[in-house]
């Protein structure tokens, strides 16, 4: 099994993307921070962003939000 090394720079990039995608979701979905946080927590969307950061960071935050919305859609959630 390969060991994955996450640098401080990677951690900062992940946190930055998580914050931006959360904020974009909140605005697009017209949700309060608490409502948005509940959705993100229920479907582990921050974990998804962290886990897929290597793929997501080469595109836009809007693309990352589209991926998050696709996860929700697959789980029967409309936002």
Mean pLDDT of 57-71: 95
What does pTM read for this prediction?
0.86
pLDDT tens, 38-62? 999 999 999 999 999 999 989 999 9
Kindly state the DSSP code that residue 1 receives in the 8-state scheme.
-
| pLDDT above 70 (res 2) | no
| pLDDT above 80 (res 7) | no
- Nearest-angstrom CA–CA distance, 64 and 40: 13
Give burial (CB, 10 Å; 0-12/13-18/19+) of 75: exposed
Query: What pLDDT sits at residue 3?
Result: 62
- Taking 3-state DSSP, the helix, strand and coil percentages for the chain, each rounded to the nearest 5, stand at 70, 0, 30
Q: Where do the domains of the chain lie? A: 8-74
């Amino acid at each position: 099994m390969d060991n994955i090394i996450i640098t401080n720079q990677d951690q900062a990039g992940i946190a930055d993307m998580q914050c931006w995608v959360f904020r974009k979701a909140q605005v697009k979905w017209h949700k309060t921070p608490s409502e948005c946080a509940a959705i993100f927590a229920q479907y582990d969307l921050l974990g998804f962003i962290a886990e897929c950061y290597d793929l997501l960071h080469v595109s836009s935050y809007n693309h990352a939000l589209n991926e998050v919305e696709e996860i929700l859609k697959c789980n029967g959630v409309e936002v």
